[in-house]
């Protein structure tokens, strides 16, 4: 796992703002947002509910960043993405 993934995920899970290269963590109205290239790929709610999306980007970078989150295991087989063993189209989903 890349250091930028570790650092951005750590900031996100600890509810701290973060900016480095293509990653940002921002807070708005009690929720924390993990952004990759300006796209929100994860939301951490006040009750610790975690939601993820790939925002339509089936890239290795998006997959690597999301895989840094707890309870997230994304892999690709025959051009399809799988989230925790189930085919996933990248739509917004709650993972915990």
pTM for this entry: 0.94
**Interval 45-62 mean pLDDT:** 97
Domain boundaries, the chain: 3-94
pLDDT of residue 96: 81
19 pLDDT more than 90: yes
**Structure confidence by residue, pLDDT tens digits, 29-51:** 999 999 999 999 999 999 999 99
Whether the CB-CB separation of 95 and 50 falls below 8 Å is answered with yes
- What are the residues whose beta carbons fall under 8 Å from the beta carbon of 14, sequence distance 6 or more? none
- What are the residues whose beta carbons fall under 8 Å from the beta carbon of 76, sequence distance 6 or more? 58, 63, 82
């Amino acid at each position: 796992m890349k250091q930028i993934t570790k650092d951005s995920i750590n900031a996100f899970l600890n509810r701290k703002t973060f900016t480095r290269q293509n990653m940002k963590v921002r807070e708005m109205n009690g929720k924390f947002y993990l952004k990759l290239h300006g796209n929100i790929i994860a939301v951490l709610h006040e009750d610790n509910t975690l939601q993820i999306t790939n925002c339509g980007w089936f890239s290795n970078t998006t997959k690597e960043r999301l895989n840094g989150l707890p309870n997230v295991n994304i892999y690709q087989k025959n051009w399809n993405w799988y989230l925790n063993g189930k085919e996933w189209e990248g739509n917004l989903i709650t993972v915990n």
